Amino acid sequence: MSLNTLNNWAAGEELNPLVPHTAELIVGFVAFTLLFLVLRSKVVPMFEKAFAERTEAIQGGMEKAERAQLEAERALTQYTTQLNEARGEAQKIREDARVQGAAIIEDLRSKAAEEAARITASATAAIEAERQQALTSLRNEVGALATELAGKIVGEALDDQVRQSRIVDRFIADLEKSK
Amino acid sequence: MGAYLASEDGFKPPSTADFNLPPVFGDNPFTTKPIFLAFFSVILISVFFILSSRKAAIVPSKFQFAGESIYGFVRNDLARDVIGHEFMRFVPYLFTLFTFILTNNLFGIIPFLQFPTMSRVSFPYVLALFTFVIFHYVAIKHKGLIAYLKEIMFMPGVPKPVYILLTPIEVATYFLVRPLTLSLRLFANMFAGHLLLLVFILGGEHLLSGAIGLKIVSPFAFAFGIALTFFEFMVQCLQAYIFTLLTALYIAGALADEH
């Protein structure tokens, strides 16, 4: 074929364009195979690597975002729970404080009442004692005065102590009787 | 028409002879322009993709992105969408096929190179042969030789007398029509496209050397040549895509279970 081709070139003849040339067939085969080997060993793996890494990077990012979202959700739940707990606790504390306050007030009130009763009682006792004392001293003084007065009026010396006292007592008893 | 309008030596319209480029060095048939272009494309593609894929960064540079877009297009839009879950095995082949055809096609409109390698029919033949061998090999490995041949020759679910008509058609499709159409479609598109560009650009040049009336017409020929260059760019990309897509489809068919 190639000899024929050369002859044709030499002769300047027109060739049938559908007839292949040996040299070109060989070159086509070799060139294509060469290119195939280069692209398959050097280019395709590298592009595939880039594609795979990119896919992984995107998926990794998505997973990370998902994880972060989960984390956030969990934190939110936790905070909500804590908030509710705190609210409940505050409510309980308020309740306790109210009860305690009431108890304290009640306590104080009863103590005050007691104290008041005690003060009243002691005051009453003191007054009673003083009255008694006053009564006694009054009786004595009134007796002395009355005796002195009676002695002066009657002119009779009533210096006998026993008699004097008997008279006074009788007088007071009469007074009390007549009251 | 050329001879009629030409002034002295006459216009020789471009012909198939324009595709028979003589060897650069003596009589060595391995030193023709298409052969250099084929090797040049191998170097060009290898260097471009090795450099752009070398870093394989998660966040690609513009350069890596450029290489990656082409690779991703073949990998995802051609291989994965057509072949399905086993596509990764065929990505290197489809990727090589697409870049090799595309680059060699684009040589047709790149200044100074300006020759589509695929307009030399030998190259499409070789590529079609690769595809032919691969899809038959995959089918035989996947289904077994007997079952595969039976599937081709006796398509299930068809009334028996129809086989008289269907069997030859199916056999011809699988063993003759597929590789031939694959290679000839690519070859003919590149051949015709290049011829068309030659007609308008060489024609415009020739008109320029003619009488004054012809000189006025020649810019239109050039303008048309430029417009056709853009059109050719589209065809060149499309043909690379079609060749790769059909290969992927044949492989997908080889892997598909009986329907």
Share of chain B above pLDDT 90, in %: 63
**Mean pLDDT across B116-136:** 95
Determine the distance in angstroms separating the CA of A14 from the nearest CA of chain B, rounded to an integer: 5
Residues of B in contact with A16 (CB under 8 A): 16
CB atoms within 10 A of CB A95: 10
- Per-residue pLDDT of A10-44, as tens digits, reads 444 446 888 888 899 999 999 999 999 999 999 99
Q: Give which of A24, A37, A48 to mutate to test B binding, by max B Cβ within 10 Å.
A: A24
Interface predicted TM-score of the whole assembly (ipTM), two decimals:
0.89
User: Among all residues of chain B, which has the CA nearest to that of A1?
Assistant: B29
B122/A20 CB distance under 8 A: yes
The beta-carbon neighbor of B29 closest among A2, A17, A53 is A2
The beta-carbon neighbor of A27 closest among B38, B64, B187 is B38
**In the predicted structure, residue B73 carries a pLDDT above the cut 90:** yes
Mean pLDDT computed over every residue of chain A:
85
**In the predicted structure, residue A9 carries a pLDDT above the cut 80:** no
B59 alpha-carbon distance from chain centroid: 33
**Mean pLDDT across A58-65:** 89
What pLDDT is stored for residue A1 in this prediction?
43
Task: Summarize chain A as % helix, strand, coil (round to 5).
Answer: 90, 0, 10
CB atoms within 10 A of CB B22: 14
Q: Give the A:B interface size as CB pairs under 8 Å.
A: 130
| Calpha distance B228→B23 (Å, rounded) | 29
- Tell me the pLDDT band of B2, cut-offs 50, 70 and 90: very low
Residue A146 falls inside a structural domain: yes
Residue A136 falls inside a structural domain: yes
**Mean pLDDT across A68-77:** 94
- Tell me the pLDDT band of B1, cut-offs 50, 70 and 90: very low
What pLDDT is stored for residue A10 in this prediction?
44
- List the domain range (segments joined by +) for residue A141: 18-178
**Mean pLDDT across A37-53:** 93
Residue A12 falls inside a structural domain: no
Mean pLDDT computed over every residue of chain B:
89
In eight-state DSSP terms, residue B88 is G
**In the predicted structure, residue B254 carries a pLDDT above the cut 70:** yes
A117 alpha-carbon distance from chain centroid: 43
Residue A154 falls inside a structural domain: yes
The beta-carbon neighbor of B56 closest among A8, A20, A49 is A49
What pLDDT is stored for residue A128 in this prediction?
92
Closest CA to B99 of B78, B121, B113, B129: B78
**In the predicted structure, residue A173 carries a pLDDT above the cut 90:** no
Greatest CA span in chain B, whole angstroms?
A: 72
CB proximity list for B52: less than 8 A, separation 6 or greater: B63, B64, B66, B67, B68
**In the predicted structure, residue B236 carries a pLDDT above the cut 60:** yes
Residue A56 falls inside a structural domain: yes
**Mean pLDDT across B21-33:** 85
The beta-carbon neighbor of A36 closest among B23, B56, B93 is B93
A31/B39 CB distance under 8 A: yes
- Per-residue pLDDT of A159-172, as tens digits, reads 667 777 787 788 78
- Tell me the pLDDT band of B107, cut-offs 50, 70 and 90: very high
B95/A46 CB distance under 8 A: no
A27/B35 CB distance under 8 A: yes
- Per-residue pLDDT of B138-195, as tens digits, reads 999 999 999 999 888 888 888 888 888 899 999 999 999 999 999 999 999 999 999 9
**In the predicted structure, residue B93 carries a pLDDT above the cut 70:** yes
| Calpha distance B150→B174 (Å, rounded) | 12
Sign of CA dihedral B75, B66, B34, B114: positive
A12/B17 CB distance under 8 A: yes
Return the amino acid letter for A62. M
**In the predicted structure, residue B239 carries a pLDDT above the cut 90:** yes
- Tell me the pLDDT band of B9, cut-offs 50, 70 and 90: low
Q: Which of residues 53-72 of A touch B (CB under 8 A)?
A: 53-54, 57
Residue A87 falls inside a structural domain: yes
The beta-carbon neighbor of A47 closest among B20, B71, B93 is B71
Residue A157 falls inside a structural domain: yes
Determine the distance in angstroms separating the CA of B220 from the nearest CA of chain A, rounded to an integer: 30
Scan for tokens 């606790």, then name that residue.
Answer: A89
Residue A124 falls inside a structural domain: yes
Determine the distance in angstroms separating the CA of A87 from the nearest CA of chain B, rounded to an integer: 51
| Calpha distance A82→A115 (Å, rounded) | 48
Residues of A in contact with B130 (CB under 8 A): 32
The beta-carbon neighbor of A29 closest among B17, B91, B126 is B126
Residue of higher predicted confidence among A5 and A77: A77
Q: Give which of A7, A15, A22, A27 to mutate to test B binding, by max B Cβ within 10 Å.
A: A27
- Per-residue pLDDT of B42-53, as tens digits, reads 999 999 999 999
How many structural domains is chain A composed of?
Answer: 1
User: Which run of H or E residues covers position B106?
Assistant: helix B91-106
Return the amino acid letter for A69. Q
| Calpha distance B156→B179 (Å, rounded) | 24
What pLDDT is stored for residue A141 in this prediction?
82
Sign of CA dihedral B83, B85, B91, B93: negative
Residues of B in contact with A40 (CB under 8 A): 92, 96
- Per-residue pLDDT of B187-207, as tens digits, reads 999 999 999 999 998 888 888
Residue of higher predicted confidence among A132 and A172: A132
